[in-house]
């Protein structure tokens, strides 16, 4: 029922979902790019419901507690402690916390927007890469192409010890994807 409803909602808005995707999408770190609008989160979530991919999204743990937590956890949000690290108290890094999710869930597509913001960033945050390496899982390429009005998961790599070569493959995939707000989107200038 959820899958049919999600597909209907996207069709009403003129969007389609590419049905072919890597089998690794059921246990991976999934890049969410481009990320230039608040609408991106909505379209990604609905598209992944259509595909039946077990998506989880890391957010500040504040949003997963109390009454609001009932809703946020229900749609796939997982809380991480993003408070400032206190040298007198043990706390795992955000990367470690996200890698730990793979110990808890057999099937999980942990969605991360490496731009880290909806504003123009010329260098991507590489946490997604290090989470994948730490958890020993592949990286898949989730995308929203606003020009084509198409959502999907278009490829994957297993991270190696050659960050530069891996990032160049990722940039090659994303170079032809059209964001909602082109002025706010950039590939990582270090790897193009």
d(CA 70, CA 152): 28
125 found inside a domain: yes
The pair of three-digit structure tokens given for residue 44, joined into one six-digit string: 């990604």
Stated as kind and residue range, the H or E segment containing 17 is: strand 16-17
Give the angle subtended at the CA of 135 by the CAs of 131 and 140, to the nearest 5°.
Answer: 65
Number of domains the chain contains: 1
Task: Provide the residue range defining the domain that includes 53.
Answer: 2-82+89-143+150-184
192 found inside a domain: no
191 found inside a domain: no
189 found inside a domain: no
Q: What is the pLDDT along the chain (192 residues), one digit of tens a residue?
A: 778 888 898 899 999 999 999 999 999 999 999 999 988 888 888 999 999 999 998 888 988 999 999 998 988 899 998 887 778 877 789 999 999 999 999 999 999 999 878 889 899 999 999 999 999 999 999 999 999 999 999 999 999 999 999 999 999 999 999 999 999 999 999 999
22 found inside a domain: yes
26 found inside a domain: yes
- Global pTM value: 0.92
94 found inside a domain: yes
């Amino acid at each position: 029922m959820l899958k049919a409803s999600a597909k209907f909602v996207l069709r009403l808005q003129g969007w389609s979902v590419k049905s072919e995707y890597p089998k690794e999408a059921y246990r991976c770190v999934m890049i969410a790019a481009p990320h230039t609008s608040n609408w991106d989160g909505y379209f990604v979530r609905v598209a992944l419901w259509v595909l039946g991919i077990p998506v989880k999204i890391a957010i500040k743990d504040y949003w997963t507690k109390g009454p609001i937590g009932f809703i946020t956890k229900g749609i796939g949000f997982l809380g991480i402690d993003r408070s400032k690290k206190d040298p007198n108290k043990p706390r795992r890094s955000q990367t470690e916390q996200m890698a730990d999710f793979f110990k808890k869930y057999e099937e999980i597509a942990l969605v991360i927007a490496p731009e880290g913001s909806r504003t123009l960033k010329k260098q991507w945050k590489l946490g997604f890469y290090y989470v994948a390496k730490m958890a020993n899982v592949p990286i898949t390429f989730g995308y929203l192409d606003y020009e084509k009005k198409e959502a999907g998961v278009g490829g994957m790599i297993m991270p190696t010890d050659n960050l530069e070569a891996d990032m160049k493959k990722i940039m090659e995939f994303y170079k032809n994807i059209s964001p909602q707000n082109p002025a706010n989107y950039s590939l990582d200038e270090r790897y193009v």
